[in-house]
Copies of this chain bind each other. A is one copy, B any other.
């Protein structure tokens, strides 16, 4: 179960009421910062932008690829450890707006995590250290540290133990 706080709405769907749930100027500011970040060629500059203007937690040497899309409404709910890679055009959502309620949840990504291109990360998930997420994955549940996951819906392809064994076999071949 993903960790989200739920807020029921009355009348029209929750997105129709968007600026009652999040200030218009916050969304505009976030949008401009995110667009700058999506196309910036400097990785350290992106991290500075995201930390300073989006209040995202971004660890040292974490690398955002081209066109990554952090949540435009609640980016301050996103936390990423150090030395991780967020792949091309990955969407990190901290909100979901349903017909009769909206939900907000923290996304917590660990250290040395690799997220493949075009992935979608849903609100309220935790991704453990050293996890590897294949391209185009829908991350709808937590990912254990060190595991290799992928698919839509996401499945564990190799557990941390299996990954260790595979890496050791590869290392032996190299030596």
Footprint of B on A, CB under 8 Å? 12-16, 18, 24, 27-28, 31, 41, 43, 61, 63, 65-66, 69, 72, 83-85, 88-89, 91, 93, 96-99, 112, 114, 116-118, 120, 122, 130, 132, 134-138, 140, 150-153
Contacts and interface: CB of A to CB of B under 8 A. Distances in A.
Contact of A28 (B41, B43, B99, B122): B41
State the majority secondary structure of interface residues on A.
loop
Q: Please state the number of chain copies in the assembly.
A: 3
Contacts of A72: 66
Given A12-B61, A12-B83, A24-B41, A91 B88 contact: yes
A128 B117 CA distance: 24
Given A12-B61, A28-B41, A99 B118 contact: no
B63 A83 contact: no
